[in-house]
Structure 1
Amino acid sequence: MLMKTSKLSYFLLFLFPFIVLQPLSGAVAPYQDLSTTTLTGTVQDDKNKVLSYVSVGVVNEETGTVTNELGKFILQIKPENGQGIIRFSFIGHETVELKVADAISQFAKQKTLAIILKAKPSEIKEVNVDAKRWITSVKGGKVGPEATFHQAFMRTPGTLEEHLGREVALLINNRKKQAFLKKLNFCINTNRYDDVKFRLNIYSVNNGRPHENILKENIYLELTDKKTGWVEMDLEPYNIYLEDDFVVSLEWIDCDPKPKNVLYLTLSGGFGGHTVFQKKASQAKWEKFPGAIGMNVTLQHEK
Structure 2
Amino acid sequence: MSLVKLALLTLIAYSLTVFFVHAQTAPVGSVGLLTGRIQSTDNQPLAYVSIGIPGTPVGTVSTEAGTFSLTLKPETAPTDSVRFSILGYAPLTLTVASLRQRLETGQALSLTETARQLAEVRIKPVPGKTIGNQRVATNMNTNLMLNSQPSQNLGSEVGRRFNLPGRTVRLTQYRAYVESNFEGVTLRINVYEARSMKPLLNRNVYVKITGKHSNWIEVDLEPLNLVAEGDVVASVQWVDSEGKGSYLGLPIQMPAFATHMYKYGSQNKWKTFRGMSTAMTLAFSPVDKDDVNAGPESLTLAK
Common topology (TM > 0.5)? yes
Displacement after TM superposition at 1:241 (Å): 1.9
CA contact (8 A) 2:39 2:46 kept: yes
Supply the distance in 1 between the matched residues of 2:61 and 2:185 (Cα, whole angstroms): 14
Counterpart for residue 129 of structure 2: 137
DSSP-derived class of the 2:257 partner: strand
Look up the match of 1:40: 35
What's the counterpart of residue 98 of structure 2?
102
Cα 1:15–1:120 change in 2 (3 A) is closer
TM-fit CA distance, 1:97: 0.1
The CA distance in 2 between the partners of 1:269 and 1:276, in whole Å, is 9
Q: Give the 5 Å matches for 1:1-303.
A: 14-17=12-15, 32-82=27-77, 83-107=79-103, 109-110=104-105, 114-128=108-122, 131=124, 134-144=126-136, 146-155=137-146, 157-188=147-178, 190-206=179-195, 211-257=197-243, 259=244, 263-271=246-254, 272-290=256-274, 291-301=276-286
Structure 1 unaligned residues grouped into runs of 5+: 1-10, 21-30
Task: Verify the 8 A CA contact 1:19 1:149 in the aligned structure 2.
Answer: no
Give me the TM-score of the superposition, normalised by structure 2. 0.82
In structure 2, give the amino acid aligned to 1:300: S
Give the drift of 1:159.
0.7
Q: Who is 2:298 aligned against? A: none
Distance in 2 (alpha carbons) for counterparts of 1:19 and 1:138: 31
The separation in 1 between residues aligned to 2:229 and 2:11, in whole angstroms, is 37
Change (3 A) 1:174 1:193: same
Q: For residue 65 of structure 2, what is the amino acid of its counterpart?
A: L
Matching residue of 2:299: none
Distance 1:19 1:149, change over 3 A: farther
2-structure distance, mates of 1:249, 1:18? 22
Contiguous gaps of at least 5 residues in structure 2: 1-8, 19-25, 289-303
Cα distance change on mapping 1:214 and 1:289 into 2, 3 Å: same
Query: Higher helix share goes to which structure?
Result: 2
Identity of aligned residues (%): 28
Shift of residue 101, structure 1, vs aligned partner: 2.6
How far has the Cα of 1:12 moved from its partner? Answer: 9.1
Structure with the higher strand share, 1 or 2: 1
Q: Is the 8 A contact 1:180 1:241 kept in 2?
A: yes
> AA paired with 1:92?
G
Q: Deviations over 1:246-300 (max 9, x none)?
A: 110111111111x4xx611110112132111111011000000021210111111
